[in-house]
Structure 1
Amino acid sequence: MSTRILFLPIIAVLILFTACSPITTELTGSQAFEENNPEAIEKILVVVMSDNLPVRSFFEQEMKKRLEKQGVKAMGSLEAMPGDAKIDREAFETYFKAQNIDAILMSHVIDEEKTAMHVEGQEYSGTGPRTYWAGYYDYYYQMYDRTSEPGHFSEATVVYIETNMFAVHNSQMIWTCASKSVHRENAKDIIDELTKLTVNAMKEDGVLK
């Protein structure tokens, strides 16, 4: 692969904010470049450009699982290369040439911003305990003797992530998408949503045959 692609810093999605925050991960756009697309993509190398190795490893493996569910072979970059290595032509020749990779899928943070998010007031029962779902914002209350507490504003961090796919045979971009995510308690929540949305978009755009 002739194009030198350097790692860009990625912010670990680990900032805590109120447990009542809504899920707000969405794709803001995607585009396929059919003229650069190989006839068949049989194996994809997943690269998350991050200095946070636990986040990078989890992200790559989740994307790999999503792709494999669509019948496409995939591997994460950390399966074959050191975490501090850059993805350039030399690294590709060293670590991945023998893997028969058809395309490289690369994700990185392109921007982040602070925002004030309104948190809805919580209704609660005066006669019984609350029951929580999944350890965060979803919960339900008993259906009688309800009162409520007012909503408030909580600062959150919005992260914009770009994902690009490149063909190995000509180094050209096959597909691109952009996403917007609000930090929640666990980076895994955002990664789970984002990988699902990304692979679905690749299917809809005809990148995955």
Structure 2
Amino acid sequence: MKTKLMLLSLVLMTSCASTKLVETWKNPEHVVFDAGKVLIVGMSQDDEVRLEFESQMKEKLEKLGVEAMRSVDLFDVEFTSSEKSEEELSDVEQQLLDKGFDAILFTKVVGTENRRTFRERMNKFNNLYSRFSADYLGHQDMYYDPEYYDTFNLYYIETALYCICVDKDRELIWKGDFEVEEPSKASKTIDAYIKLMTTAMADVDVIF
């Protein structure tokens, strides 16, 4: 599948801006996936945006009867301020498994139009990461590299749901790509994005 781009650094938008679904992909081996305890990861250099997104997402999941935890409550400042290894992320996944988590919901900005500076390599745009650790490793410099991106007009945002279930591979269950125009105001944009994203998941029986 050709991936188009996207996730959070959700520096977000005005009420007149638009959010739309570009495409989705679902693992054909999972007819129905019902997550019960989810870690929410919003990857962004903007701490306020990250907190806003993860908090709204947590509230949404809890209203649906799902236990959820924000990454801001799990990853300390030191964790996100420097590059992590695959071994360190594997340790995180195992800790989550030990604590009863069965999924990671991972959102990030992976591309933009009308960019002034953007250090994301174009060959990443078509990657379909099968594991959370690979996805995180491929984009983690977003946290600490001040030149990662600058001046966007159109954000491409990607949300991926990864299974970390017992006796199963920690694999990609679902991925959705979205466009967000003219980001500038976080709360309304995040709310619109979450509603569209959760609806898209429910449409293909990936549910909470």
Instruction: Report the TM-score, using the length of structure 2 for normalisation.
Output: 0.65
The structure carrying a bigger helix percent of its residues is 2
Question: What one-letter code is carried by the residue in structure 2 that aligns with 1:167?
Answer: C
Alignment correspondent of 1:70:
64
Note if contact 2:52-2:186 (Cα within 8 Å) is conserved in structure 1.
Answer: no
User: Structure 2: which 5+ residue stretches go unaligned?
Assistant: 1-5, 116-150
CA-to-aligned-CA distance 1:113-163 (integer Å, 9 cap, x gap): 229xxxxxxxxxxxxxxxxxxxxxxxxxxxxxxxxxxxxxxx971000011
Note if contact 1:11-1:50 (Cα within 8 Å) is conserved in structure 2.
Answer: yes
CA distance in 1, matches of 2:31, 2:40: 17
Note if contact 2:43-2:108 (Cα within 8 Å) is conserved in structure 1.
Answer: yes
CA distance in 1, matches of 2:76, 2:161: 21
Alignment partner of 1:51 is 2:45: yes
Structure 1 position 59, deviation (Å): 0.7
**For the structure 1 residues 62 and 44, does the alpha-carbon distance in structure 2 shift closer, same or farther, using more than 3 Å as the test?**
same
**For the structure 1 residues 207 and 191, does the alpha-carbon distance in structure 2 shift closer, same or farther, using more than 3 Å as the test?**
same
Instruction: Report the TM-score, using the length of structure 1 for normalisation.
Output: 0.65
Of residues 82-91 and 189-198 in structure 1, the stretch that sits farther from structure 2 once superposed is 82-91
Structure 1 position 68, deviation (Å): 2.0
The structure carrying a bigger strand percent of its residues is 1
CA distance in 1, matches of 2:36, 2:93: 18
**For the structure 1 residues 79 and 159, does the alpha-carbon distance in structure 2 shift closer, same or farther, using more than 3 Å as the test?**
same
CA distance in 2, matches of 1:207, 1:9: 19
Q: Give the length in aligned residue pairs.
A: 158
Looking at CA atoms only, which structure, 1 or 2, has the larger radius of gyration? 1
Match of 2:158 among 158, 162, 168: 162
Computed over aligned residues only, the root mean square deviation of the Cα atoms, in angstroms, reads 2.9
What stretches of structure 1 move > 4 A for 4+ residues in a row?
A: 8-12, 36-39
Structure 1 position 47, deviation (Å): 0.5
Alignment correspondent of 1:28:
22
User: Structure 1: which 5+ residue stretches go unaligned?
Assistant: 1-7, 116-154
**For the structure 1 residues 98 and 83, does the alpha-carbon distance in structure 2 shift closer, same or farther, using more than 3 Å as the test?**
farther
